[in-house]
Structure 1
Amino acid sequence: MQLNNQIRIIFAGGGTGGHLIPAIALAQEFERLHPEVRVRFLIPGKELERRILADHGMPFDECGGESPHGGWMARLRSVKSLFGAFRRSRKLLQRFEPNLVIGVGGYGSVCGGLAARSLKIPLVLMEQNVLAGKVNRFMARFADTTYVQWPLMQNLPGKSELKILGNPIRRNLGRYDRRMALRLLDLNPNSTTLLVMGGSQGASAINRFIQTNLPNIEPYHRRLQVIHLTGERDYEAMRTAWAHSRVRHKVLPFASDMGPILAATDVAISRAGATTMSELAAFGKPMILVPLPGAADDHQTHNARYAAAYGAAYHLPQEQLGDSDCASALIREVVLDEARRASMSKACRLVARLDAGKRIALDMLARFGVKPSEEPAENFGGVSSASGRAA
């Protein structure tokens, strides 16, 4: 049984870091703002999901289920597995007795969301992209509210209220300043730091681009240093490729703590996943965005175009990575151009907000009549949450 003042919240869904990381940031805000909030995650049960949640100390249950992809036989098996996941989700919700279920995206969000509605538990959604995903387009008809990072390109079905409050950012990312982070990473405070990454699982196309263009990067070794998050699959190959480079570098398969890496970064080349973009932009980091060509509904291209339209990012389609002068031009015209970087950094405040998690948490808590006392604009490692600018 629930305690009288306790508020219980389930986050349903997952699949990728892009879905889970904002949910974790929001869960942390709930716990910070109201001591009687209890949160729990309901996930399909992938190894990546378990690792991310365990790294952040978040409790979770698994509902199982398979994503509906492949031929008709695979889809038939998926439907059967998702029906089982729905029943398990329903039992877990009955046991936990949540006051609210938050759908965070991914097919696991369908099972948890429909289970919530079948039990008459309020359902809200989180959508990070400019173009809403298929799951949220389907689930919006069952949700009271959909919290979005940016204005959506299309209308959602049903009567779900849209609230444009941003994408939650993990509070612990801001506990480092640049000098401290560079010292921790053994990097030079007088060089420009380029971060290369591909999201929670890496990006082979970006890795190949860097590997092929190491000779073109070498001439800039006195001014440039690189942090390269390769993903597990390409780590050994990229570590070997970098081994004899004169460019100062830090090569890692992934980073469970992005705080020092974000603090050390001056400019980033990355996929255009919405969560990666919001974390980079919230800390004023100029972005070179290479959208994943196979992303559902080409949503990463829409994300990249949105940020580029505000001047916060340089949109680089993947097919252009093969151009012979691409790497040298990027280094000259973006990475080492201080005036352009400063302009892009200033534009980042139009793309993301550091205080999005707090704003969303307060809005959700208000439905329970909870109104924590307002706090002054907080400081995330030298960045003001009121403006997103360096303090």
Structure 2
Amino acid sequence: MTGVQSIMLAAGGTGGHLFPAFALAEELKRRGVEVDLMTDMRGDRYGSGFPARNVYQVPSATLAARAPADIMKTAATLARGTRAAFKILGTVKPSAVIGFGGYPTYPPLMAARLRGIPTAIHEQNAVLGRANKLLARGVTAIATSFERTKFLEGKVAEKAVLTGNPVRQAVIDAAARRYEGPTSDGVIRILVFGGSQGARFFSDTVPLALFALPDQIRKRLRVVQQAREEDLERVNEAYSEASISAEVAPFFADLPARMAAAHLVIGRAGASTVAELTVIGRPSILVPLPHALDNDQLNNARRLAEAGGGWCFEQRGLSPERIADELQKLLEAPVALATAAKAAKTAGRPDAVRNLADFTLALAGKKYSSGG
């Protein structure tokens, strides 16, 4: 036992925020520390079975527009959430509150500050998110996933500690599988997914791109693709017409294992995706989500590409023909895939969850000092 009473985690409703919080909760429980989760009214949408003693839901809202009426409405909801969180923290009395980004973390972290409870935020991306920007100045400490985090500057940067982005135990287990590139006449396993909610762009383009490949490559393909419910039928039909063996579903509970089995991954560039790709060590073609306010996915993908662990292509102007050309080059040169897999693995931080747990317990035990 650590002597720490309990830790309250706060995470937004997306997988990118929820999964690293999940990983930290697993590690803290292994160390005998009780964990609670505070999130918004969406709760655990992904059915992850979050390893918390209790899950508390408090009102929250995202500032989506700058009109005065929208700002006032969002502020009122966040104020209600802060009051609710203040009451919950008074009952639970955690030793620290750790936020993982997204506006649902704002009420619990503000309430913790009002109660004098040590606080920290964890930034998964290479860019400081909007909610974390608002909270950064007032928290006790900041944990980062990249050596350089855009918008983390000045006095605020002095509170930052590099921990990496923690991944779940299922990812650590999958990382034990060694990468073996496709043989000259063997099957080629391609995994396609667009983050926790799927991506219509991949449903529109990837089947057409794979259909455009030469016969000698296409007949060897074994595709696993995540697609939205409303896209399942047409994606399956496209693969059937192309005579490509494919498994298409809206969600794969065993995604880390499927990632480990893949010769090549095609996906978005969310923080959790990049963290899992690098810990497992798999080559990837990343197409960052366009129109993001902070370009966080573009920055994530570029960092991985700079390390040699994958290829970054912006969605604008990316046609099925272009994807087919790039795929053909890679699939005809498996050495390039193996080299990228090795570089991705080198960039991974499998110790991130231990680092973040150490950071959390030091904060909770009031042993943390800025820059420490």
Q: 1:9 aligns with which of 4, 7, 25?
A: 7
1:165 aligns with 2:160: no
1:355-384 alpha-carbon deviations (Å, 9 max, x no partner): 21012212322345699xxxxxxxxxxxxx
Q: 1:143 aligns with which of 139, 148, 156?
A: 139
Name whichever of 132-141 and 207-216 sits farther off. 207-216
1:98-146 alpha-carbon deviations (Å, 9 max, x no partner): 1010010000111111111000000011101111111112211112221
Q: 2:87 aligns with which of 80, 87, 91?
A: 91
Where 2:63 maps in the other structure, the secondary structure is coil
How far, CA to CA, are the matches of 2:340 and 2:202 in structure 1?
Answer: 21
Where 1:52 maps in the other structure, the secondary structure is coil
Name whichever of 129-138 and 204-213 sits farther off. 204-213
Where 2:327 maps in the other structure, the secondary structure is helix
Name whichever of 325-334 and 51-60 sits farther off. 51-60
Where 1:147 maps in the other structure, the secondary structure is strand
How far, CA to CA, are the matches of 2:172 and 2:123 in structure 1?
Answer: 23
For residues 1-391 of structure 1, the aligned pairs below 5 Å read: 5-32=3-30, 34-35=31-32, 37-46=33-42, 49-52=43-46, 54-58=48-52, 59-70=54-65, 71-150=67-146, 151-156=148-153, 158-159=155-156, 161-175=159-173, 190-217=186-213, 219=215, 220-322=217-319, 325-367=321-363
For residue 224 of structure 2, what is the amino acid of its counterpart? I
Residues 137 and 157 of structure 1 are in contact (CA less than 8 Å); yes or no, is this contact kept in structure 2?
Answer: no
Q: Which has the higher contact order (CA 8 A, sep 6+)?
A: 2
For residue 52 of structure 1, what is the amino acid of its counterpart? Y
1:387 corresponds to: none
Distance 1:242 1:273, change over 3 A: same
Distance 1:161 1:126, change over 3 A: same
TM-score, normalisation: structure 2? 0.88
How far, CA to CA, are the matches of 1:242 and 1:310 in structure 2?
Answer: 33
Where 1:354 maps in the other structure, the secondary structure is coil
State the Cα distance separating 1:310 from its structure 2 match.
0.9
2:370 corresponds to: none
Aligned length in residues: 355
State the Cα distance separating 1:6 from its structure 2 match.
4.9
State the Cα distance separating 1:75 from its structure 2 match.
2.7
- Percent identity (aligned): 30
Where 1:256 maps in the other structure, the secondary structure is coil
* Contiguous gaps of at least 5 residues in structure 2: 179-184, 368-372
How far, CA to CA, are the matches of 2:279 and 2:173 in structure 1?
Answer: 14
Name whichever of 303-312 and 53-62 sits farther off. 53-62
How far, CA to CA, are the matches of 1:51 and 1:310 in structure 2?
Answer: 33
For residue 108 of structure 1, what is the amino acid of its counterpart? P
Where 1:325 maps in the other structure, the secondary structure is helix
* Contiguous gaps of at least 5 residues in structure 1: 180-188, 372-391
Q: RMSD across aligned C-alpha pairs, in angstroms?
A: 2.5
2:181 corresponds to: none
How far, CA to CA, are the matches of 2:95 and 2:364 in structure 1?
Answer: 9
Residues 128 and 274 of structure 1 are in contact (CA less than 8 Å); yes or no, is this contact kept in structure 2?
Answer: yes
How far, CA to CA, are the matches of 1:334 and 1:260 in structure 2?
Answer: 22
TM-score, normalisation: structure 1? 0.84
State the Cα distance separating 1:211 from its structure 2 match.
3.6
How far, CA to CA, are the matches of 2:295 and 2:173 in structure 1?
Answer: 34
State the Cα distance separating 1:168 from its structure 2 match.
0.4
How far, CA to CA, are the matches of 2:341 and 2:316 in structure 1?
Answer: 26
Name whichever of 341-350 and 283-292 sits farther off. 341-350
How far, CA to CA, are the matches of 1:361 and 1:134 in structure 2?
Answer: 24
Where 2:318 maps in the other structure, the secondary structure is helix
Where 2:56 maps in the other structure, the secondary structure is strand
Residues 137 and 156 of structure 1 are in contact (CA less than 8 Å); yes or no, is this contact kept in structure 2?
Answer: no
Residues 4 and 361 of structure 2 are in contact (CA less than 8 Å); yes or no, is this contact kept in structure 1?
Answer: no
How far, CA to CA, are the matches of 1:96 and 1:236 in structure 2?
Answer: 47
Where 2:149 maps in the other structure, the secondary structure is coil
Residues 224 and 247 of structure 2 are in contact (CA less than 8 Å); yes or no, is this contact kept in structure 1?
Answer: yes
Distance 1:325 1:4, change over 3 A: closer
Distance 1:370 1:339, change over 3 A: farther
For residue 67 of structure 1, what is the amino acid of its counterpart? T
